[in-house]
Amino acid sequence: MSAFLLCFAAWSAIALGMDRHHEDALGREGTARRQMHLHLRRAGWLVLALSLWLAARPSGEVPASLGVTAWTVTLSVAALAVTAMVTWQPRRAPVAAGVALAAGLLARAGGW
């Protein structure tokens, strides 16, 4: 569960780092648009790397290779979910991304 939420938050940050999705979601252009978009995209890639690292860590029950395989599936499903979100509900995308990030970190701390 935490992998999906972190991937969702990461893909959302990457999508919101693009001009079109940012303007659709927030209804305006940022003042320091280029710099903010760059930071959003970088943050998204960092969260994706974090989620991969967490998935690849072997636990007592799951080997690292199975964790990475499951993460790859989760990555694809999260990308599809973000695509749907920014297409049909762009104004809710920033809030959904923030909630997903917080919930993903809490879920990971809880062992999900």
Chain segment 6-43, per-residue pLDDT in tens? 999 999 999 999 888 888 888 776 556 677 888 999 99
Predicted TM-score of the model (pTM): 0.90
Quote the percentage of the chain above a pLDDT of 90.
64
Contacts of 30 (CB under 8 A, 6+ apart): 22, 36, 37
Residue pair 2/78 in contact (Cβ under 8 Å)? The answer is no
Spatial CA neighbour of 51 closest among 103, 4, 100, 98: 4
